[in-house]
Amino acid sequence: MILQKGHAVSVVAEEQILVVPTSLFHELGYFQGFSREIGRYWPQLVTGDHVEYRPRGEMEEDPNFKQLIPYALFRWTDGAGTVHLFEYQRGKGQGEKRLHAKCSVGVGGHVSSLDAEVGESHEVYREGMRRELEEEVIIETPYTETVAGLINDDETPVGRVHLGMVHLCDVEEPRVRPREADILGARFTPVAEILTRLEQFESWSQIVMRALFG
């Protein structure tokens, strides 16, 4: 919190975050759930002329805009060929209070106007993703990253104002650990086990698990 003229003002409300008009998303092709059509959406959403920065506090309640969120999954395949994903539970200190206590397989967050110092818009998005990963986890293993698709979930209040850009990060070793104290119970878990308890996970994780691993 910060103080302004005698009143407490949330830092979150002052943060300027990367958004695109929801109408643009509809023009490109509306979908509910998961889409693998990266080429259809990525250029316009990440580098198009409609990208802008607006106050996060306002955007959390305004469905006329979609906040672009890098959503990175860390995948590890053991020697027996079993696929594992990094999972954790969101603590109360995590930014989105509506997701507290939910389990997740995605790491990431908002792209900020502070990331814009790097220059070109596609680099801004990448810088925002890099910064968010660095803030949330410590990655002590080489990995390769690919863009796997997009998540849109208009069936939840959180989802109506966000659009997830899904990144698959294949790690050589299961050596990813939390940097933030509110990333709880972090571990690599076999995909098959996660699929048996999807009801414990936030909606985005449920959507991406069913789309990519179900």
pLDDT, residue 100, reads 54
pLDDT, residue 14, reads 76
SS3 196: coil
Encoded tokens for 148: 């796997």
Q: 2-212 has which CATH code?
A: 3.90.79.10
> Are the beta carbons of 146 and 167 closer than 8 angstroms?
yes
Backbone φ, ψ for residue 69 (5° rounding):
-125, 115
Hey, where are the domains in the chain?
2-212
Spans in the chain with pLDDT lower than 70? 1-13, 93-100, 118-122
pLDDT, residue 5, reads 42
The residues near 21 (Cβ < 8 Å, ≥ 6 apart) are 50, 64, 65, 66
Summarised one tens digit per residue, pLDDT across range 34-86 is: 999 999 999 899 887 888 999 999 999 999 999 999 999 999 999 999 999 99
Cα–Cα distance for residue pair 69/205, rounded to 1 Å? 13
Q: What is the pTM of this model?
A: 0.88
